[in-house]
Structures are given as structure tokens and as C-alpha cells.
Amino acid sequence: MPRNSIRVTLPKENESHLCRMEPAAKERGTTENGGSSSTRAQRSSCSSLKMFLVALSFAYFAKALSGSYMKSTITQLERRFDIPSYLTGVIDGSFEIGNLLVIAFVSYFGAKLHRPKIIAMGCVLMAMGTFIIALPHFLIGRYKFETSIRSSVNSTNNLSPCPARLLSPAALASGDPLSKAPGTGTVGCEGESNLSMWIYVFLGNVLRGIGETPVQPLGISYIDDFAREENAAFYIGCVQTIAVIGPVFGYLLGSLCAKIYVDIGFVNMESITISPGDARWVGAWWLGYLIAGVITLLSAIPFWFLPRSLPIPSDRGPAQCTPEQISFINDSPLLEHKYQADEPASFLEMAKDFIPTLKTLLGNPVYFIYLCVTIIQLNSLIGMVTYKPKYIEQHYGQSASKANFLMGTINIPAVALGIFTGGLLMKRLKLSIMGAAKFAFGTSLIGYFLSLFFFAMSCENAKVAGITLPYNRVDGVSYEERSVFSACNSDCVCSDRDWDPVCGENGITYVSPCLAGCQTSTGSGKNTVFSNCSCVVVAGLSSGNLTASVGHCPHRDDCDRVFPYFLALSVITSFIISLGGTPGYMVLIRCIKPQLKSLALGFHTLSTRTLAGIPAPIYFGAIIDTTCLKWGQKRCGGRGACRIYNTTAYRIAYLGLTMGLRTVSFLLCILGFVLLKRHLRREERSAHQVANGGAELEVLRKEEVLASNSDQSLRTSTTDYNNTERETRL
């Protein structure tokens, strides 16, 4: 058969198969001729890939540190700017808004451009946004909290916290400024009322989100493109492990800054009458953002020196193929998931291909159902993680500093170890796509059942007179606007809007010394003692001379016993759930075509951030706000941050919403397994057809070789005959 006819009739599948089946001798010959240059190129590629891994890990660390630090300052921002939880949820979700603005275009166009330099520019933007978040501290005035202790530190006799009644009860109920404790006038109020400094935090977080956009999709796709097949999952697992170590330092930084008073260096600390465990305490939240911004800026440096692309590994690349065959291999979903970036095209050409490419991506049923499952699960995860430090503070009576410290030293390391172990197990066990999906589902389901035990680890409400405990000591939450008033404090001019708690000798907390009916006070600062408190009673009888001290009463003994079990269960569940992180992520990568990898990762991140990262903190915060029992008041009027919650309602709302979302996701997983099985069966049939075509191609190649040899022999014989005849004539 003529050679040209064979070439014309061969299908492209057979050509690509032929390309991969080149004889080993040809490869050895190529190596012998240019072995030294090939070895140098491979070494250079390996070192560049290692450098990229280190740089990407550091960038992941930096963005994770600043992101976790943001979550560690949730309560600090609430108190500093006097805003409710849902508004801090809006601030936290603004990071995802920044991603929403650009991530689809960065993922699509960035894959066709210089990925390392785009990541570097993103890190610079992240650093700028982090610095902007800290800006309000240098623009706003000094922090002023509600307190009835206004004497100098050297004074031993203070004014009476229970001034004589001069105003009517109607004036008190209306919240007239004159009814408030002395010294809480409206000086400077008009200037502050027009400033919403939290807007700067919002905008800075948006810019930080824009800068973070290219790091994940372009970084992960870069590794998967240029790493060997057996190493890709391990490398990605390592990067994600480093990304989880970042929050360890983020929460530790948050713990350190929460111990430092917000205006440290500008006020006399001996005059501060509140401690870090007080609901009015605000730590140096701004300091951590300056540190995180510097670290993020440093992470951008290495990416400027990395190449646009690396040589594809020899065991994965079509080294012996023609350009036409290489083009087909890059387009084939059945071959290895290595995709060499295209040559830069015009912006108009890339824009025309965007919508059709996106339709192709969303038309993949496995990808679509995976997207829905992760959106629901991330709603649960993001809402839970965002308010977990706050939950520890409010439910178990821990300070913000201790809650952040525990998150950083106990919970986050368990997640990091789980992600690393999951990637290692996938490499060692060589899990298939279905095996990885089953592994991720199983670990998530085990963690789900273990999490149900959190409902049993409950604490009673703190005993606060007039809020969780009426003055007659009848148990039950019964707070109303006027419930803090009683006959025992009827002779005092008190405001029901102040929050200046004191602890009575009877172990009950009172909203303020005035509402405790205290007549006199001695000492100064944190050592102030209030005496002759008419509302402080023991065994139902007023002794008339009982005292109260500054601050909340110590927390409940039952919480001290339950809290260690809560921490232990939290560590175990975090580790088990995170085991499926890397296998689940590899399912996403392997169920799509290689040329759609960057877009798929980017659109996945876009969707999860839009439908989970933005709304979850907001509606979690709004639901938590419904459990508030006592709201603080802004200096200029209006509702401020919550001072105390109904812990029982808080636990049910917080845990119930978390577990409910995860239940819905498990139902969708069942449908996902059915679609994944069908997808794999189709790929197996297609691969079988390619294999059969390759066998037929091998037969044709042998026939072609035989025909070529026959032609060569015939030409040789003819030449010999002609030469012989010529010699005879001569």
C-alpha cells in the first residue's frame, strides 16, 4: 500500500497513539546525541519548579495568615466600631467580593499569560489592602468605653455610683443623655457620628481579595502542568499544608494583639479598668495587619524571577510528536492532564472563546455536582470557622486572646496534619478518581457524626441580674428593657443602656454598680470595690452591707469541666474531615479536560467565594445577633455591639445551622457518585477504542515498513542491474 495513502486515512487518535509508542531505540539515540543539554534542561526545570513550590507555599502562608488574622479580630472590630455581628460578616465577606470582581477573567486570561508575574502582582495588591485595613486606627480618635469609675488613680474615695433620683422614670426609659452616668456626655459626638471607619476595613479587604485571586488557580495549575503525574498530588498537598500552617501564626498573632490594649502607648494603662476578658475590651487589632502586610509584600519577590513555563516531564510530554499531534494531545481529555500554555493570543480572540469555553465546563455533570456540594459544605465551614472564636468566648467564657490561641495551637495544626496525611495517603495508596471521591466522602461523614456530640457539651447562661436572672433569683432568661430595674435600685438614677458589670459577693453579675444599688466605692482602677449594695442579696435576704467588685463574676464550673472535652472533640473532627481535602481536590482536577483546568479551578473558586464566602458570614452573624440579650450603646446613640448572649440559643443556632448545611451536602453526594460512575465508564470505553485503534495502527505500520522495504529492494536490484549492464557495454 502506498505510504501517502496510509498517512491520509489514519485517524488522529491513532496518530497520537503512534506518537507515544515510538521505539525506545529512537529515544536512546536522541539522548545520546544531546544528552548533556537535555540533562541540564531537566535540572533547570526541576530547580525552577522547586523554587516555584517554595514561593507559592510562602504566598499561601502569607494570604492564609492575613485571612485568619481577620477572623481572629471579629469581636475586636465589633467592639471598636460598635457594630453587630452581621456587619462584621459583611466585612469578612468583602474579601470574597474582591475575588468575585476579577477571578473568572484572571483564571481564564492568566493561564495564557505569564502566571508567576501575575501572582506577584496579586501579592502586592494583597499587601496594599492589608495596610488599608489598619488605616482607621490612625484616623479615628481614642477608644472610650462605658465605665462608672472616673476618679484619678491616686484617689481612694470615689463619687457615689448611686446618685439621688432627680429625673422621672419616663426620662430614664427614653434614654435621655442626662440620665446616663456622669461623664458620658456628647462631647465630640457630632464629629464621630458622620464617620463610619469600618468602611476602610471593608475596602481594604476587597483589595486584598482582588490581590489573592491569581494565587490559587494559577499556582495550582502551574504545578499540575509541570510536575510528574505521581508527584502532582503530593506537591499540591504540601502547598495546602503550608496554607493551613499560615492560620496557626495568624491566630497566634491575633492572640498576642488581643492582649495588648488598642491605644497602647497613647494612654496610661493604670487608668484602664477593664481586662482582656471584659466584653468592652478592644485589643491592638491594627498591629497585626501591619505585620501581615509586610509578610505579604515579601512573598511577591520570588515570582518576578520565575519563567513563564517549564519543560513538560519526559514521561508525560509528547516529545516525539509532530506539531499537529501535540495539538491533538493537548485537546484530548483521555490523555494525561498536562497542558502546555498556549502562545499569547490577542485579547479579542481570547474573549470570544470565553463564553463557549465556560458553557463546555458547566456542561460537565460531574464538575457541576461537585461544585454544588462544595458550595454547601463551604457555607457550613466558613460560617463555623468565622464565628468559632466568638463561640468559645461567649459560650465557654474565654477571653478573645485565649480563644485565638487555642484555635492557632490546637485546632489549626490538626487541620494541617489532616490535609498533609490525606495527600500522602493518596500518593501511597494510588487512589483512582472514584477511590479519592469515596475516601473524601467517608471522612466527611465520620466527622459529621462526631460533630453531633457538640450539642451535648452545653453551658448554662451566666448569672446576670435582670438579664438571665431576675432580681428575685428565679431561673430563666427574662430580659426586657425595664427588667434591670427593681425596688432595690429604685432610689438611684441609673441608665438601662450602660454596660459596666460588677460581681457581687453572692456570685451574681450586675449590669452596673448603680443597678446593683451600691452606695459607695473605695479604691481605684481595677481595684475599685463598691460597698453597701442593696441589690446584692444572699439566701433571699439583703444584708445591707455586701460589696461588689469590678468585672464579671468567674465563669461557671460546669463549663470548666466541659471545655477540655470540647477542645479534644474539635481536634479529632477537624483532623478526620481534613483528611479528604486533597483527594477531593484531585477529583475536581481529574474530571475535566486539561485545557480547561485553570478556568475550572478559577470558576470553582469564584462560585464558592460568591455563594459561600460572601453570604455565610453575613447570615451566620445575623442569626447569632438574634440570640443577643443586651446590646451596647454608641456614644452618639443607637445600637452598638452585643454585650451578652443567650448561650443556649447561641449554641442551637450556631451548631444547628452548621450541621443542617452539611446534611444537605451529603444528599447531593449520592447523586454525584452516580454521575461520576457514568463519567468513568464513558472514559473507559473511549480509552478502549483508542487502544484498539493503536493495535490496528501497529499492523498498518508493519505493512508500511514491509512495503517500504520491498520498494527499497526493488530499487536496489534495478540499480545493480543497470550498473552491471553499463559495465558490460563498456
Phi, psi of 266 (to 5 degrees): -115, -10
The Cα 683–Cα 694 span in angstroms is 16
Q: Tell me the average pLDDT of the chain.
A: 74
| pLDDT for the residue numbered 640 | 80
Q: How many residues does the chain have?
A: 730
| pLDDT for the residue numbered 695 | 55
| pLDDT for the residue numbered 670 | 85
Q: In sequence order, what are the residues at sequence separation of 6 or more whose Cβ sits closer than 8 angstroms to the Cβ of residue 1?
A: 703, 704, 707
3-class DSSP state for residue 548? strand
Q: Residue 326 region, left (φ>0) first, then alpha (ψ -120 to 50), else beta?
A: alpha
- Cβ atoms of 481 and 633 within 8 Å: the answer is no
Q: Residue 473 region, left (φ>0) first, then alpha (ψ -120 to 50), else beta?
A: left
The residue with greater pLDDT, 412 or 710, is 412
- Cβ atoms of 80 and 632 within 8 Å: the answer is no
Q: In sequence order, what are the residues at sequence separation of 6 or more whose Cβ sits closer than 8 angstroms to the Cβ of residue 374?
A: 584, 604, 608
Q: What is the DSSP letter of 538?
A: E
What count of other Cβ atoms lies within 10 Å of the Cβ of residue 10? Answer: 17
The Cα 141–Cα 33 span in angstroms is 74
* The residue to which cell 503530593 is assigned: 234
The residue with greater pLDDT, 712 or 217, is 217
Gap between the terminal Cα atoms of the chain: 38
| pLDDT for the residue numbered 243 | 78
- Cβ atoms of 451 and 666 within 8 Å: the answer is no
| pLDDT for the residue numbered 576 | 92
**Percentage, residues of the chain above pLDDT 90:** 16
| Region of poorest pLDDT, from 359-373, 511-525, 672-686 | 672-686
Residues 475-529: tens digit of each pLDDT: 444 455 557 777 777 777 787 777 888 888 888 888 888 888 888 878 777 778 8
Q: From residue 366, how far is each of 354, 587, 632, 674, 677 by CA, in Å?
A: 21, 9, 49, 9, 9
The residue with greater pLDDT, 709 or 95, is 95
Above 50 in pLDDT, residue 322?
Answer: no
The model's pTM is: 0.72
537 bridge partner residues:
542
∠ CA 690-696-700, nearest 5°, is 135
Confidence band, pLDDT 50/70/90 cuts, at residue 560: confident
Give the CA-trace dihedral at 485, 489, 490, 495, to 10 degrees.
-60
Of the CA atoms within 13 Å of residue 702, those in its CB half-sphere come to: 5
Alpha-helical segments (H) within 73-183:
74-81, 85-110, 115-134, 136-139, 169-173
Instruction: Over range 701-721, report the average pLDDT.
Output: 56
All domains of the chain, ordered by start, with CATH? Answer: 42-150+195-313 (1.20.1250.20), 487-554 (no CATH)
3-class DSSP state for residue 465? strand
Confidence band, pLDDT 50/70/90 cuts, at residue 29: very low
Q: What is the DSSP letter of 408?
A: I
The Cα 713–Cα 561 span in angstroms is 94
The Cα 534–Cα 162 span in angstroms is 11
